[in-house]
Every structure is written in structure tokens, then in C-alpha cells.
Amino acid sequence: MLSREEKLKLKEQEREYREKEKQHRDELKQLKAEQKQADKTHKRNSAALRKAKRKKPSAPPSDQNKILSVFPIRDYLDEEDYFITYKSTIINLFQIQGRCFYDASDEEIESLVYSNAKFLQKYSDDFKIISMNYPTNTHQQQKFLSYMLNRPELQHFSDMLQKKLEALQALERDTTDRQAFMMVFAKDKGHYQELLRLLLGNPYFALKPISREKKENIIFQLNNMNKKIKV
């Protein structure tokens, strides 16, 4: 039989064991709660990180790349008289000498079609035909008539000269001339010289060199279709 002191001691040990067991359960419960909270935080952070990666914008292209993607011309070489692109290829413009076929015979028109077909067989590289309506330019004629009006010995003809001057001014204000241009493309200088010999030596239609200012006006108009053509 256990004595009273032994029974009390045993009860004390049992009580301590139960308290330790309860404390252990509480610690385990708290540990599980902390682990659960940590898992939630990790999932929330991972989701936010994935969302941020999806929404993160890519680095915007530089202004130069955006411009060159739609306008590849980089410079104009005055000594060579052509445009150079950012890929070091060549672009140039020539004016096509116009001809009137309103009063042409069927044979003349058929000959023109045949000549153009022969040219296309020989010229296999890329080119572009550009047509634009330019305001009729009568500056030289107006300048001459203004000079004649200022001559004292021609005062008797001033009425006639003034009417002609006004007619030229109305013509320039109200009418346009259709002009055609040819844009050529070359890989390098050697290729350009080869194309130039073929173009300027062909008997099918005449090409005229044009000034840098007019070339730049054409390029400007092609990229600003709502702007008025500069004369």
C-alpha cells in the first residue's frame, strides 16, 4: 500500500505531466497556426509576384528605333545625290518626263505599252512610281510679264499684258499639273551605279534628275498626306 505522502507525490507528478502535455499541445497548436499563416503569406506573395511579372511592361523602344521603323531614311549624301538608309542601302528619286497622249494614235499608245513591257523585262529590281498633283507653276512667265509692264515703251500694251498676267495668276491658283516620279532602291553603291546605267540609258522613257529640295518635298508629302504640296 502507498503511503499518503507517496500518493500525494504521485498526484503531483500526474498533475505536472498533464500540465506539460497541455503546454505541449498548446505549443504544437501555435506552431501549426504560425505555419498556416506563413503558408498563406507565401502564397499571397507568390501570387502578387506572378501578377507583377505579367503586368510589368517591357522596356519601351527608343525614339530612334520607332522613327526608323516607319521612316528608314537616315541622311542625304550631297556628293552622291541620293538618300542613305539606316541599313546603308540607297534610295533615290527621278522625275519621269511626261508626254501627252490625248491626241496620240493607237499605234503610239501601243508602242508605249510595248516599250514599258520591254523595260520591265530588263529591270528586275524594286522600284516605285509616285504620282502627285502639283500646283501649276507660272512664276517665270509672271516674272517676265511684270518686267514687260514696267518698261515705259510698252505702256500702250499694258492692258493686254495685265490681262495675260491675271490669266497666269488664275491658272496657278486654280489648276494643277500631274507629275510622276520613280523611286529606286539599291543595296550598295555598285548596285546603284548598275541601276543608274540601265535607267538613264533606256530608250523607253526619259528620266530627269531632280534637286534635293524637291526630293525632300516628295518624301515629306508621302509621310504627311494631309499637308499641302510644297512648290
Which residue, of 56, 72, 101, is where some domain finishes? Answer: 56
Tens of pLDDT, residue by residue over 71-97, are 788 889 989 899 999 888 999 999 988
pLDDT at residue 61 in the model:
52
More confident residue, 68 or 179: 179
| Contacts by residues 69-75 (CB-CB < 8 Å, ≥ 24 positions apart) | 71/223, 73/219
In a domain, 151, yes or no: no
The answer to whether residues 22 and 102 belong to one domain is: no
Which residue, of 13, 40, 56, is where some domain finishes? Answer: 56
- pLDDT > 60? residue 47: yes
pLDDT at residue 58 in the model:
57
- pLDDT > 90? residue 182: yes
The answer to whether residues 2 and 114 belong to one domain is: no
Number of domains in the chain: 2
In a domain, 99, yes or no: yes
Tens of pLDDT, residue by residue over 90-145, are 999 999 887 777 777 888 888 888 888 888 888 889 999 998 887 788 888 889 98
Has this prediction a pTM greater than 0.85? no
Tell me the longest C-alpha to C-alpha distance in the chain: 161
Domain extent for 85: 63-136+175-223
180/22 Cα distance (integer angstroms): 99
Which residue, of 56, 87, 103, is where some domain finishes? Answer: 56
State the cell numbers at 45: 506573395
The answer to whether residues 101 and 181 belong to one domain is: yes
